Amino acid sequence: MEQIESVHRMQEFIQNHLSEQITLTALSKVSLYSPWYSYRLFVSYLNMTPAQYIRRVRLSQAALKLRDYQDRITDIALESGFKSVDGFQRAFYREFKCNPSEYAAHPVPIYLFNPYGVKYKPNRYRKESPMNTTKKISIQVVDKPKRKVIIKRGIKATDYLDYCDEVGCEVWGLLKSIKSISGEPVCLWLPAKYRQPNTSEYVQGVEVATDYNAPVPKGFDVIELPAAKYLMFKSAPFAEENCGATIEDVRAAIKEYDPKTKGYLWDESNPRIQLEPIGSRGYIELLPIKKID
């Protein structure tokens, strides 16, 4: 656990100093180990060197800036911690197989790097968490507009871990590169009418406007969803090591909740939605509802 905490501190330091020069010496100071041992720990837990990790995080953030803003490539390169535009362009092409200017002019889906915290990885849903203190769950009604969703189907998956085993966890990075009307990708449990034969109930996707006509990645499908009301169940913020227990708390609250108290019934014709667990905001699931006639 002490080693995991050390790597976690290095990840946090990198995230907070991305635009600065980050040295192994600086990382060793926050890890509380020697530079040599800090390097070994980082590679052991994250399967890449600190330099590789930093470069991939910087490039993915730069890609989002190129997609969403009209800033000069020179400015984005320097803000992203690269010493030269040429170096940035070469690194961008190696990572995404397109150059920055082409991407800025015509953003296409690319595989962004999604740096999971070492305390929480997709293959380590921790349900045992005696320190969890996030059982307060807020509930509110939200409206979803009519929209399209670009989805990647699995085979038999009914939840996140099964989906990662079947499809791979890299899909999330690709979805994050597609500009969403809701600001982030989503996970969905699809009702039968949105499923295809021999495909999973659980999918990952990104919500886009109904007039979306940009490229759709190979192997992905597009479904159309109607405007609908949802009950949003949201936990308090949580520590990464408490992620699994927090998810269980939210799902227990959902199971116990009766929407009739707010004048609704569960709406089984629309998909249930899961958002990425982010400790600083809490864990969120949205369940579709309909007014009681």
**Whole-angstrom distance, CA of residue 157 vs CA of residue 136:** 29
Tokens of 114: 């999604």
Per-residue pLDDT tens listing for the chain (293 residues): 788 889 999 999 999 998 888 999 999 999 999 888 999 999 999 999 999 999 999 999 999 999 999 899 999 999 888 889 999 999 999 999 999 999 999 999 999 998 877 765 554 444 444 444 457 899 999 999 999 999 999 999 999 889 988 998 889 999 999 999 999 999 999 999 999 999 999 999 999 999 998 889 999 999 999 999 999 999 999 887 788 899 999 999 999 999 999 899 999 999 999 999 988 899 999 999 999 98
16-49 pLDDT, tens digit per residue, is 998 888 999 999 999 999 888 999 999 999 999 9
DSSP letters, 7-29, are HHHHHHHHHHTTTS---HHHHHH
Percent of the chain at pLDDT exceeding 90: 74
**Whole-angstrom distance, CA of residue 30 vs CA of residue 13:** 7
Mark out the alpha helices in 33-180 (DSSP H runs): 35-46, 50-68, 73-79, 85-96, 100-105, 160-167, 171-176
**Whole-angstrom distance, CA of residue 201 vs CA of residue 224:** 16
Determine the length of the chain: 293
Beta strands per DSSP E along 183-240: 186-189, 202-208, 221-225, 228-235
CB-hemisphere CA count at 13 Å for 251? 11
CB-hemisphere CA count at 13 Å for 282? 17
pTM of the model: 0.83
Q: Which residue, among 109, 115, 122, 107, has the nearest Cα to 220 in the 3D structure?
A: 109
Domains contained in the chain, CATH given: 2-105 (1.10.10.60), 137-291 (3.20.80.10)
